[in-house]
Amino acid sequence: MAYIDFIMKLHQSSKRDYVQRVVDYDKAECATVAIQYGADYWDGDRKYGFGGYKYDGRWLPIAQAMADHYGIKPGDRILDVGCGKGFLLYEFTQAVPGVAVAGLDISEYAIENAKEEVKPFIRHGNAISLPFEDNSFDFVISITTLHNLYNYELKQAVQEIQRVGKGGNKHIIIESYRNEIEKVNLLYWQLTCRSFYSPPEWEFLFDEYGYVGDYSYIAFE
């Protein structure tokens, strides 16, 4: 397992006022709405989540970098666990024409509003039980999803990702913190996070669960 960053530059491109988020809004009410992963979370007011999650091509450089690093080639099968509206899946089809993509997400709203080109390949489901055969994907990705699970669900979810993917071509990205400032910022900003761990703790858990893929995290600086 290795730490390989593909996403922090994109994450840092958005500006956030962490303190104002808890001053201006009822954080508990916002989180209660967000955790439903419905229209408000994806396309409603920013206080409930994304504030409008539209396709804008921002994921293409990430798909290209991952494809290059993991040697993804035409004919390979890619799974995105927690794929949302499928934007990254679509970008994989652009970065490597001829790949086969599949996605899974807990949000029926996201699937209904997914990018049309990949919508037929996205299923509704939970990360703790993936409806796929063993070793059926050449690359498995999960971006900012697993920290939304309770700690007692993490082992099963990580082992499911391990089960359905071949070898070490897997990458998990979670929200994390490296110091007390980032921990407070994460607590102020997050709406759906249930598992709060530092990078060494995540690495410990991944090792305990037998995960052999790579990982990275986003931190709220």
Please check whether residue 86 lies inside any domain of the structure: yes
Would you say residue 188 lies in a domain?
no
Q: What is the pLDDT of residue 21?
A: 87
Does the residue 136 lie in any domain? yes
> Mean of the pLDDT values across residues 147-156?
98
Average pLDDT, the chain: 97
- Confirm whether 186 is domain-assigned: no
Domain carrying residue 132 = 8-17+55-177+194-219
pLDDT the model gives residue 15: 84
pLDDT, tens digit, for every residue of 109-136? 999 999 999 999 999 999 999 999 999 9
Residue 70 lies in a domain: yes
Residue 106: CB atoms within 10 A of its CB come to 15
Percent of the chain beyond pLDDT 70? 100
pLDDT tier at 97, thresholds 50, 70, 90: very high
Total structural domains within the chain: 1
In this structure, is residue 32 part of a structural domain?
no
Residue 145 lies in a domain: yes
Residue 202's pLDDT is 98
What CATH number is attached to the domain comprising 133?
3.40.50.150
In a domain, 73, yes or no: yes
22-60 pLDDT tens trace = 999 999 999 999 999 999 999 999 999 999 999 999 999
